[in-house]
Structure 1
Amino acid sequence: MAAVKKAWIFSVIAGLGAVVAVIAALQPENPVETSYSSLPREEPQKVATHTVAKLKDRFSRIGYDLNYVVLNDMKVPRIWSDAVPSDMHEIKQADVRKELFLQMMLPLVLMANERIERDRARVVALAAKMKKGTEIAPGDKSWLDRMYVSYKVKPGKINNLLARVDVVPVSLALAQAAIESGWGSSRFARQGNALFGEWTWNENNKGIVPDSRDEGKTHRIRAFDSPLDSVASYLHNLNTHRAYRELRSIRALARRQGQMVSGLDLTSGLIRYSEKGGEYVDLLQSVIRTNDLAQYDQARLADRQYASAPRA
C-alpha cells in the first residue's frame, strides 16, 4: 500500500507541474523586478549540464550523491548546474528522477539562502549599532536604504526588515520546486529554468506563455538565466509578498523564541500560494514527509573543495 501511495503522490505532482499556470505563486502587486546579480555566478564548481547524462556524470565524478551527504554530516558540495536538463522528462523511473532533481536543487537552495544569511548578518550588526546610538557609515546607510526598497519595508523599520531578510527551510523549497516543476520535468523548468511557477507581466522579463492560459490573460511563466536565479527569486517572493505574512510571522516568532523552524512549520503560511488553498498545503506536507525532506533542513554547504566519496 505504501508503494501505491507514493506512486499516486508522484503522479499528482507530475500533473501539477504540467499545469503550473494553474497552481502559480502570487506575484507582487507592483511588478518591480529585483536583480539578483550579486549571487555567485563564478563558483569553481559551476557546470554546464544541459542533459541528464552530463549532470549525472559530473555528480559521479566528485562522488556526490544524497546518501553521501547524509553520511558526511549533511555537507553539500558547492556545485550548481547552469540549466535544468532539457531531457529531464525522459527519465521514466520516478525514484531516479526524484533523486537527480534533489541532487541538483539542494546546493542551489543552500547557496541562495547563504546570500540571505550574509545580508541578514549585516542588518543585525547595523541594528545593534543603531540601538547603541553609534553612527552608521555612509556606505552602510546606502546599502540599508537599498535593502528597505528591495524588501518593501518603510525606511527606518529595521525590525520589520529583519522579519523579511531571512532564510527559508530547505525542505520547503525542495517540496515546492518538486510540485511546481513536476520534479524538473515541466516545459517551464526545462525551457526556462522556471522551478516555482512564478508569473510575470513585465515585458522586459523572459517568459513562457502557458498552453492553458485563459483568453484575455496576459501573464507568462517567468523564465530565468539559471536555476539559481529561479531559486533566489522564489525566496524573495516569500520574503516580500503580503500573501505570505503568516509564513514570515511564524518564522519570526520562532526566531524570538530561539527555536529552529522547519519546512513543515511554515506550510500553513502558504495557503495562498495556490488556488487550491488548503489542499495545496496538505500536498506540500505530504511531499515533505513522503520523501523525508525534513532531514535536509540540517544540510549546509561544504568547503569549496568537496571531498569525493570513497570508491569501492
Structure 2
Amino acid sequence: MKLIIILLSSVLFLKAEFIAGFDEYYYTLSIKEKREVFIKKISALLDVSFKEIENEKEFVESFFKEAMKNNFRKLNTVAMQKLWFLKEKYRVKNLYDLQEYRVRIQKVPKSLAIAQAIIESATGTSRFAKEANNLFGEWTWGEKGLIPKERSEGKTHKIRIFNTLQESVDSYLLNLNRHNAYKEFRAWRWSAISQNKKLDGKEAASHLEKYSEIKSNYTKLIVSIINQHKLNELD
C-alpha cells in the first residue's frame, strides 16, 4: 500500500492510494507475452509473501524454544504480544498450540498459486483484477467492494478491493492458511512437510475443491494450467 501524506489546515492525513497492478502496455501484449509477464510477476510477489511467512515461522519456533526453557514463566512482553498477533491472524484457538502454528504458517506450491491467479483473474485482464487488484476472486461482505455484474438475486457478497497486487497475494495465502474450508489442504501439506516431501502443486489442487463452485472440474483446470505452462518447475 502506498501512503500519501496530505497536509491540510495543519492537519496530517494518511491516504492509501490504489495502485493498478498492470500498466496499459501490459494489455497490448499478445496472450503468450501476457502469460510470461504475469507468471514472473506473481512469482516475485509470492517470494515477498513467502519471506514474511518464513520470518513468522522462525519467530514462533524461537518463542517456544525460549519459553520451554523456563517452563513458560517470565515471558517477554513484546514477544507475547507478537505471538498473540499471530494467534489472531491465523485463527489459532490455543495461544500455546505450537503444532497448530506449524500447520498454518506455511507456504503453498508456487505452481498452485500462479495457476489459480491465471484462472481467477484471466491472467490479470478481468474486471476484478483491473479495478480491484483482486487476483484470486476473494469475496467480502463489507462496505468496500465491487458488485459482481452477474451476482444472483438475493446474494450480498462483493469482490474484495486491494490497494496493490501484493495485498491480494498476501490475503490469498492467509485465506488458505486459516479458513476452515481449507483444513484438508493444510493437513495434506503438513503431512508432506513432515515426510520431507516436495509440495506438489497438482497434488495440492486435489485438496482445494472447496475453493470453487465447480469443485472437481476446478482441480482439473488447475492441473491443466500447471501442465500447459510447466509451472511445476517453480515448486
Q: TM-score, normalised by structure 1?
A: 0.66
- Which letter does structure 2 place at the counterpart of 1:289? N
- C-alpha displacement of 1:190: 0.8
Residue 228 (structure 2) pairs with residue 290 (structure 1): yes
- Does residue 103 (structure 1) correspond to residue 40 (structure 2)? The answer is yes
Query: Residue in 2 aligned with 1:198?
Result: 138
Match of 1:275 among 213, 217, 233: 213
Structure 1 residue corresponding to 2:158, chosen from 215, 220, 226: 220
- Given candidates 55, 63, 68, the residue that maps to 1:118 is 55
SS at match of 2:226: helix
Partners of 1:108 and 1:260 lie apart in 2 by 21
1:163-242 matched pairs, under 5 angstroms = 163-203=103-143, 206-242=144-180
Q: Which residue of 2 aligns with 1:149?
A: 88
Amino acid of the structure 2 residue aligned with 1:159: Q
Partner Cα separation in structure 2 for residue 187 and residue 92 of structure 1 = 17
- Determine which structure has the larger helix proportion and give its number: 2
2:183 corresponds to which residue?
245
Shift in Å at residue 134 of structure 1? 5.9
Deviation string 1:120-147 (CA, Å, 9 cap, x unpaired) is 1111112223344364311111111111
Cα deviation 1:140-178 (Å, max 9, x = unaligned): 111111111111111221211211011112111101000
Whole-angstrom CA distance in 2 between matches of 1:272 and 1:88 = 35
Letter in 1 for 2:83: L
2:77 counterpart of 1:138: yes
Q: Which residue of 1 aligns with 2:13?
A: none
1:257, distance to aligned residue in structure 2 (A): 1.5
Alpha-carbon distance in 2 for matches of 1:289, 1:241: 27
Residue identity opposite 1:197 in structure 2: G
Distance change in 2, residues 1:88/1:283 (3 Å): farther
TM-fit CA distance, 1:256: 1.5
Shift, 1:213, TM fit: 0.6
**Is the 8 Å Cα contact of residues 163 and 252 (structure 1) preserved in structure 2?**
yes
RMSD: 1.9
Maintained 8 Å contact 2:226/2:232: yes
Identity rate of aligned residues, in percent? 36
Higher relative contact order (CA 8 A, sep 6+): 1
Task: Note the residue ranges of structure 1 that are not aligned, 5 or more in a row.
Answer: 1-36, 43-81, 298-312
Mark the CA change 1:183 to 1:223 in structure 2 (over 3 Å): closer, same or farther.
same
After superposition, give the CA deviation of every residue in 1:270-292 in whole Å (9 maximum; x if it has no partner): 01000000010011111111101
Q: For the Cα contact (< 8 Å) 1:193–1:224, is it kept in 2?
A: yes
Conserved? CA contact 1:88–1:185, under 8 Å: no
Shift in alpha-carbon separation, 1:223–1:88, aligned structure 2, 3 A: farther
Give the number of aligned pairs: 217
SS at match of 2:206: helix
Shift of the 209–87 alpha-carbon distance from structure 1 to 2, 3 Å rule, reads farther
Which residue number corresponds to residue 127 of structure 1?
A: 64
Question: Contact conserved, 1:87 with 1:190, CA < 8 A, in 2?
Answer: no
Tell me if 1:258 matches 2:196: yes
1:101 CA drift (Å): 1.0
